[in-house]
Structures are given as structure tokens and as C-alpha cells.
Amino acid sequence: MLEVQNLTKVFNRGTVNEKVALSQVSLKLEAGDFVTVIGGNGAGKSTLLNSVAGVFPADGGRILLDQKDVTRLSEHRRAQYLGRVFQDPMMGTASDMNIEENLALAYRRGKRRTLKWGVTGAERARYRDLLRELDLGLENRLTDKVGLLSGGQRQALTLLMATLQAPRLLLLDEHTAALDPKTAAKVLALTQKLVEENHLTTLMVTHNMHDAIRLGNRLIMMNEGKIALEIAGQQKQSLHKADLIALFEKSGGSLESDRMLLS
Amino acid sequence: MTQVLLGAVSLGLLWSIMTIGVYITYRILDVADLSVEGSLPLGAAVACALIVKKTDPYLASLCAMGCGCLAGLCTGLLHTKLKIPALLSGILTMIALYSVNLRIMGAPNVSILRMNTVFRPLIRLGMSSSAAIIVVGGGCAVLLITVLYWFFGTELGSAIRATGNNQRMVRAQGINTDTMKILGLVISNGLVALSGAFIAQSQNFADVQMGTGSIVIGLASLIIGEVLFGGKNFYRRLVALILGAVVYRMIIALVLEMGMNPNDLKLFTAITVALALWLPQGKELLRTVKKSAGRERA
């Protein structure tokens, strides 16, 4: 499904602020894998996700989606394969446009934009059904501006948008980090539901160790631009937070002064 | 006085086409595009230069619009491909167009007095020139509202609107934001040039200087329209732009009638726009001042 080979990314190369965000990272996701990515600040988690999404060009290595080399493909061209949800709830939707317009934009992901009408009646009925399943009372607010929604509602909507056209790969970049615990739990439950229903291959970055252990079938821990630790299958299911910290320190990582410990 | 007001309405309708162009960049794309200061006289220059050569005035106006689209394309390419900030890209196009306009006209101004214009057939039917301008300008404005209302509801139009709203999201949905910005600038400058072509025909000459300050006039009309007539849906907002442009012209006509020196006009407009742009924050400031005053009293 996704194959990342020796991916390297350096920010501010040649300046005093030079930062190796990714150093020769290799990773392979099989179809149906749900991989959680955890690590401290500046470990390279988001850089990995953004490189896969094509937000910036990689400095070395290759990215393959379904055996197709997409390393040089621009962000908007790569989007046809990817569903994305960002950390900032404002980021995933157009706030001045209404709910159905946002969904319609996402429904046409990867397709040519023509002079056909932007939202059709049949679509509208489908959106209403899908929104009803979210159970957030959005099904009767199709023509409300997205800017009027709460952060949690917007994140749920973004999730729906990312999966409306089943993507080859779902990229979640700490998509619950900006929400309060109760809302975050709701959005995570929705994530799980959508991933299972659509059998999506998923890469989820999180700061929350508990979520990283609980969700998905594989867990990756990153440190200083490298994958420091990988746990899968049975071993992951019986994993505890303390084990994870111990394993991580044994592999040479350090967790001092980090937001990750607190969560 | 009625003559003055009628003149203001007719001029306002012609400028409203330009106002819609400014709206597309300033509000929909969220880009302050200064190239309109060059594409307005460009439209005027192209139309007049062609009319002098006995071209059909409707065809000449269409050519003017096409040239405006090209000017928008230039700004768009400078901004997206060369990564020059939008404001500067617009200024570069504007300056370049000054020379281009002089080339097109071969002189700083061209007169088309007693030549055929888009208004002439109606005047020949016995209408006054103001009435003819109102009919043509108004008809054009109605047509534009209809076409733009449709266009910005299509998949492509929605993509342009979303680009002005949240570029990251738009790219994540597989839309090329560069293309959308270029497209918006092309449409906008095409409309501005069309407006320029009509204005020149209404005053029977084109002048290389006639674009000076036009962006401010466009913004003033836009804000007046939004404040006085603004509505929730897109259709209402487009109508508000037309009315805003007309009201702006009426205000100008009135202050001139009241004895204001015409040379002070641009200063007056600039101050009006500055105040109008400050209005949302000003309201907020007033509210907090009132609140704290109330608390002190309590």
C-alpha cells in the first residue's frame, strides 16, 4: 500500500537553524494496516505525514503508493489517493462555505472540476444520511456556514470529508490534540468506526500514548527523525504505557521534558 | 439636480462592473489586486483604439475584456509561478500596463467623439445619453449577476471560493490552488477592462491616467454596498455591489454639487475607505468602551 524508502527531510539546510526532521526513514504499510505514530516534539512525526501528503518535497528517498512512485507528485495531485485530517480543526474545512459545499468539494477529490452544478440533489440526500450517523445534529444544518460549528463538529466533518471518497490511505495528524477530552474521545470513536467500515489503511500521529496503544494494529515510536521502535500484533495488544516508556528508553530514546509523558 | 443624479446613476452602473471585478479578487480570492489600476485604462485604450479604426463597438468592448483577462493572467503567473507576493505582482502588472496602454493608444489619450459607441444605437432611438448608459450598464450588470451567480455555484466556482478561504484544505481536496488564483484574477481583470471600455465610450475618450485610484473607488463601492445592502446569500451580495457603486457615485455627485473642489476628491475617497475598513474594529472598540464605562458606573 504505502512504502516509504530512506526518506530524508532537512529544514533550513545550510543555516544555523538546520534541522534534520527525517533521517533515512523506511516504513511499509500493508492494505488495511492502522498504524499509530508516537514520539516527542520534533521527533519527525508530522514531517513524515506531510512528506507522504506532499506538502513539501523530500530531500532524499522515495514514497510509493500502490507501487506507484509519487515522490515528485504535487500535493494536489497526490490528494486523489489521500484523505487527510489536520491538528487544527480550522484547517480541514472552508469556514465561509456551508456544510454541503464543503462535503461536495471533498466528494470530488481527485476529479476534474467542471462547470456542472457544485452540489446535486442526490448528493444532498446522501450527505444528510451520513451526517445523521455522526449524531451531532448536523443533518438539518446543511446550509449553515462551517465557521459556526464547534471544533469537535468541524473535526468530525473533516473526517467525514476525508472518507467520503474512500482514500487509499488516511492520514491523521494529531487530529484530536486540539479538542477537549470528551470531544476527543467522540472523534476517536468516529475515526475507528469510519476506518473499520471503509477498511481504510491509516497512518495516525498522536501525542497520546494511551490512544496509540489502544487504536490500530501497529505502533511506531519516532525519535530524532528516525523510527526508534515498532510494535505490532499480539505484543501491541498486551502493551502498557510503562512498558512503552521502558522499551523506548532501552532503544536509546529519551523522554525528558516532553508533552508526551503528560498525556 | 435630476440631471446630476441621473448622470451619477449611469456612471455608477458602469463602475459597478469594475466593482464586481474587485469583489472577486478582494473578497472571494482574498487577494488585494492592484493590476486593476492598469487594466481599467487598458480596457478603455483597446476599445477606443479599435473604435477609431471603425471596429464595431461591441466587438471592441469584447476585445478590451479579453485584453483585461490577459493582464490578469500576467498578475496570476507572477504571483503563482514566480512566487511574487500578490500585492507586488499587481503593482508590477499595473506599471507595465502604463507603457502598454500608451503603445496601444499611441498618445496619452484618444478621443472617439462623434464616433460609434455601444450607447449610440439607443441615443439614435431618441434616448438621452444618460438613459442609454443606464440601459446598457444596467443590462450588463444584470447579465453579470446571473452569470456569476451560476459560475460560483459550479464545481469550478466553488473551488475558487474555497481557495480564497483555506488553501491547505483545497489542496488536500486535490485542487490546484495556483490555477484557481490565476482563473480568479483573469475573470476579475476581464471585468475591470470591460468596465473601462464602457466608461471610455460614455465619456468619448480614453486617457492613460483614468485608472489612477480606481482600486480605491472599487473598494469604496464594495464596502458601501456591503454595509448598506449586504445580505447573507451570494445573489444579494452581488446586487449590493451594484447598488454600492451607484451610491458611491451619488455621494461624489452630491459633495461636488455642495462645492467641494474636484481636486480633493481622491483624498475624500481615501478617507472614506479608510473609515469604512476600520468600521468593524471601530464597532468592537465602541462596544468595549461602552462596556467598561458601564462597569465603572455600576
Inform me whether the pLDDT recorded for B225 exceeds 90.
yes
Name which of A79, A90, A116 is nearest B173 (Cβ-Cβ): A79
Residue B28 in any domain: the answer is: yes
Q: What is the DSSP string of A197-237?
A: HHT-EEEEE-S-HHHHHHSSSEEEEEETTEEEEEEEHHHHH
Full strand arrangement of the beta sheet holding A201-205: A82-85, A169-173, A201-205, A34-39, A218-223, A226-232
- State how far the Cα of B60 lies from the Cα of B47, in Å rounded to an integer: 5
Q: What angle do CA A183, A185, A186 make, to 5 degrees?
A: 65
Closest CA to A85 of A153, A4, A174: A174
Confidence band, pLDDT 50/70/90 cuts, at residue B37: very high
- State how far the Cα of A104 lies from the Cα of A169, in Å rounded to an integer: 20
Tell me whether B80 touches chain A (CB under 8 Å): no
Taking only the tens place, the pLDDT of each residue in B44-95 is: 999 999 999 999 999 999 999 999 999 999 999 999 999 999 999 999 999 9
Inform me whether the pLDDT recorded for B4 exceeds 60.
yes
Query: Where in the sequence is the domain holding B80, given as residue range(s)?
Result: 2-210
Cβ-contact A76, B181 below 8 angstroms:
no
Tell me whether B111 touches chain A (CB under 8 Å): no
Cβ neighbours of B172 in A, within 8 Å = 53, 75, 79, 82, 84, 92
How many domains are contained in chain B?
1
Inform me whether the pLDDT recorded for A257 exceeds 50.
no
Interface with chain B: mutation pick from A105, A148, A171, highest number of B CBs within 10 Å:
A105
Average pLDDT over residues B222-235: 88
Residue B242 in any domain: the answer is: no
Inform me whether the pLDDT recorded for A119 exceeds 60.
yes
Cβ-contact A116, A123 below 8 angstroms:
no
What SS3 string covers A4-36? EEEEEEEECCCCCCCEEEEEEEEEEECCCCEEE
Residue B87 in any domain: the answer is: yes
Query: Where in the sequence is the domain holding A145, given as residue range(s)?
Result: 2-262
Closest CA–CA distance from residue A114 to any residue of chain B (Å) = 6
By percentage, how much of chain A surpasses pLDDT 90? 78
Residue B148 in any domain: the answer is: yes
User: What's the confidence (pLDDT) of residue A261?
Assistant: 53
Average pLDDT over residues A179-198: 94
- State how far the Cα of B268 lies from the Cα of B255, in Å rounded to an integer: 10
Contact A117 B155 (CB under 8 A): yes
- State how far the Cα of B270 lies from the Cα of B277, in Å rounded to an integer: 10
CA distances from B52 to B65, B90, B109, B115, B129 (A): 17, 29, 12, 7, 20
pTM: 0.92
For residue A169, the SS3 value is strand
Cβ-contact B246, B254 below 8 angstroms:
no
Cβ neighbours of A97 in B, within 8 Å = 158, 161-162, 165
Inform me whether the pLDDT recorded for B280 exceeds 80.
no
Average pLDDT over residues A30-55: 93
Inform me whether the pLDDT recorded for A249 exceeds 80.
no
Residue B228 in any domain: the answer is: no
User: What's the confidence (pLDDT) of residue A254?
Assistant: 60
User: What's the confidence (pLDDT) of residue A259?
Assistant: 53
Average pLDDT over residues B17-23: 97
Confidence band, pLDDT 50/70/90 cuts, at residue B297: low
Name which of A74, A84, A101 is nearest B158 (Cβ-Cβ): A101
Residue B257 in any domain: the answer is: no
Taking only the tens place, the pLDDT of each residue in A203-212 is: 999 988 889 9
More confident residue, B272 or B293: B272
Contact A105 B159 (CB under 8 A): yes
Average pLDDT over residues B267-285: 84
User: What's the confidence (pLDDT) of residue B200?
Assistant: 98
How many domains are contained in chain A?
1
For residue A36, what is the domain's CATH number?
3.40.50.300
Residue B200 in any domain: the answer is: yes
Give the single-character DSSP code of A84. E
User: What's the confidence (pLDDT) of residue A234?
Assistant: 82
Contact B174 A53 (CB under 8 A): no
CA distances from B59 to A12, B62, B65, B101 (A): 53, 5, 10, 19
Name which of A53, A94, A117 is nearest B165 (Cβ-Cβ): A94
Name which of B169, B176, B177 is nearest A94 (Cβ-Cβ): B169
Residue B217 in any domain: the answer is: no
Mean predicted lDDT score pLDDT of chain B: 94
Mean predicted lDDT score pLDDT of chain A: 91
By percentage, how much of chain A surpasses pLDDT 70? 95
Taking only the tens place, the pLDDT of each residue in B110-126 is: 999 999 999 999 999 99
Which of A226-235, B136-145, B246-255 has the weakest average pLDDT? Answer: A226-235
Cβ-contact A24, A89 below 8 angstroms:
no
